[in-house]
Structure 1
Amino acid sequence: MSLYPVPQDLQTEVAFRLPDNFRRPMRCSWADFNKAGQEVDCFLEGPSFDHDGNLYLVDIPFGRIFKVTPKGKWSVIAEYDGWPNGLKLHRDGTIWIADYKNGILRLDPRSGMMDTIVGTYHSEGLKGCNDLVFASNGDLYFTDQGQTGLHDPTGRVFRLAVNGRLDCLIDTVPSPNGIVLNKAETQLFV
């Protein structure tokens, strides 16, 4: 018995596959901790589409940002020393990245230039940013998950206002991961 209706069955199919030339089967420091030392060839996360239908993805262990065109052509638009977890496209065309190692980054896909938007809070490092979402007014909300969980419920949710003010909205979340606003932008779901 359920309070909710039975979910509808949907037909699905694979839209894109990572081409073999982008696979890097090897051990890496991210996989040593997160995948018990297994070899990984990629770990894709954070899908976001632009207005032209291009799909952008992060590759956590190898610090890569991929672009996939509507026709399925893959390219690496950035590669850097980091562990990107999520990304969102800003209305100005830049790509904002929640990076476990480096905080909140901004990438200009035209020039390839990247800069740090939020790297610390009250002069201390972040735990490990995971995901982010923009409000229609330009405010940025993001999760700071790190290795928190039920054993350590100290994950955080932040708001970076358009005026540059950074506020910690809550600091008692066990493993805050995804984040989204409701359509009216009156509620934040984590």
Structure 2
Amino acid sequence: MSLYAPPRDLPTRVFTTMPEAFWKDGDSEWVRANKPGQNVKSFLEGPSFDVSGNLYVTDIPYGRIFRIDPLGNWTLVAEYDGWPNGLKIHRDGRVFIADYKQGILVLDPNTGSIAPFLTHSRSEGFKGVNDLFFDESGKLYFTDQGQTGQQDPSGRVFAYDLDKEILTRLIDNGPSPNGLVMNLQQNALFVAMTRGNAIWRLPIQSDGGTSKVGIFAAMAGGVSGADGLALDCVGNLYVCDAGNACVWVFDPHAVPLYRIRSCTDGRTLTNLAFGGAGNKQLFITDSSTGSILVADLEHAGSPMYSHS
């Protein structure tokens, strides 16, 4: 980013924080594997709005799904044996979850019941799915991150046609593929490569595959890297930096525009979603403090498939 003028800083404020009644004891299998020696009361991810303006978030280490109303009140929707990460809401109201343990699951928001949807590829289990996205046609894209990184750049990105029940592997050489979103033209997929500190661009071909995959934007270093992604209505890309307490904003040509800074002491901003008045507010999960941050923006978010 040194080729360009420094991006302008934009502020955030706390929208809501997880009530103490929902804090956990700080220990789980996920904590011991991913945050060893730390006391983790929650780890929020997967923000996604339903058509009524409620915000859904996941709590990875404790297998929980929460619904937050427009006033910031929290409701526990589901608690189960899983590690839910990404979450997106289908236009038919089903809530799809990328669960590291179990694969792609579906939540009924009315009953809290969870059912398997896509748990393997030709009887081979996934490494550990991370995030998911629906395009305008309803095709599902998701990342299979597992424990990949620079030591093992074998993370995968899949596309799944729900109508034809066809699963396509787009790449299998990603150093920790994480958040993902499509461009406005719906002909390229952006994928955050956390341990590569970069955003990859995957052109989507007419046959549903990809070719000439390249790096769209390289990010500054740090202890983590690019995480959740979102797109606004003019094609700007929003990238959570999970180690540097901010969201970077790039224009459609990867020129850095803004840095949206956290207003808390936490550094782990994991994911983000557009919502609020006119869909021009950005809601960000601050996993290190159990908070949801919000920033007011110039442009509205790109309409979600669930709202079409």
Q: TM-score, normalization: structure 2? A: 0.60
How far 1:56 sits from its partner (Å)?
A: 0.6
Instruction: Note the alpha carbon deviations across 1:132-163, whole angstroms, 9 max, x for none.
Output: 00011010000000000110011100011122
Pairing of 1:75-114 with structure 2 (within 5 A):
75-114=75-114
User: How far did residue 44 of structure 1 move?
Assistant: 0.3
For CA contacts below 8 A with separation 6 or more, give which structure has more relative contact order: 2
Which amino acid is 2:175 matched to? Answer: P
Gaps of 5+ in 2: 192-308
Tell me how far apart the structure 1 counterparts of residues 89 and 185 of structure 2 sit (CA, whole Å): 20
> Hey, what's the Cα distance between the residues in 2 that align with 1:114 and 1:74?
19
- Alignment correspondent of 1:20: 20
CA distance in structure 2 between the aligned counterparts of 1:26 and 1:17, rounded to whole angstroms: 17
Query: 1:164: which partner in 2?
Result: 165
Who is 2:181 aligned against?
Answer: 180
SS in 1 for 2:32: helix
Contact 1:129 1:146 in 2 (8 A): yes
Shift of 1:37: 3.2
CA contact (8 A) 1:86 1:97 kept: yes
Offset from partner CA, 1:91-122 (integer Å, 9 cap, x none): 10111000000000011101222211111112
The answer to whether the aligner puts 1:50 opposite 2:50 as a matched pair is yes
Q: How far, CA to CA, are the matches of 1:158 and 1:11 in structure 2?
A: 35
- Match for residue 59 of structure 2? 59
SS at match of 2:179: coil
Structure 2 counterpart of 1:158, which letter?
Answer: F
Query: Residue 182 of structure 1: CA displacement?
Result: 0.6
Is the CA contact 1:27–1:37 (under 8 Å) kept in the aligned structure 2? no
* Cα pair 1:46 1:86 within 8 Å, conserved: yes
Query: What is the letter of the counterpart of residue 132 of structure 2?
Result: L
1:49 deviation in Å? 1.2
- Counting only pairs closer than 5 Å after superposition, residues 128-147 of structure 1 correspond to structure 2 as 128-147=128-147
SS of match in other structure, 1:166: strand
Uncovered stretches (5+) of structure 1, i.e. residues with no partner:
none
Q: Secondary structure at the match of 2:56?
A: strand
- Report SS of the residue matched to 1:30: helix
Count residues with an aligned counterpart.
190
Cα distance in structure 2, aligned partners of 1:103 and 1:70: 30
State the alpha-carbon separation in 2 of the partners of residues 122 and 19 from structure 1.
42
Match in the other structure for 2:73: 73
% identity of equivalent residues: 56
What's the TM-score once normalised by structure 1's chain length? Answer: 0.96
Question: 1:46 and 1:16 mapped to 2: Cα distance?
Answer: 16
Q: What is the DSSP-based 3-state SS (H/G/I as helix, E as strand, rest coil) of the residue aligned with 2:146?
A: coil
Q: Is the Cα–Cα contact under 8 Å of residues 88 and 132 in structure 2 kept in the other structure?
A: yes
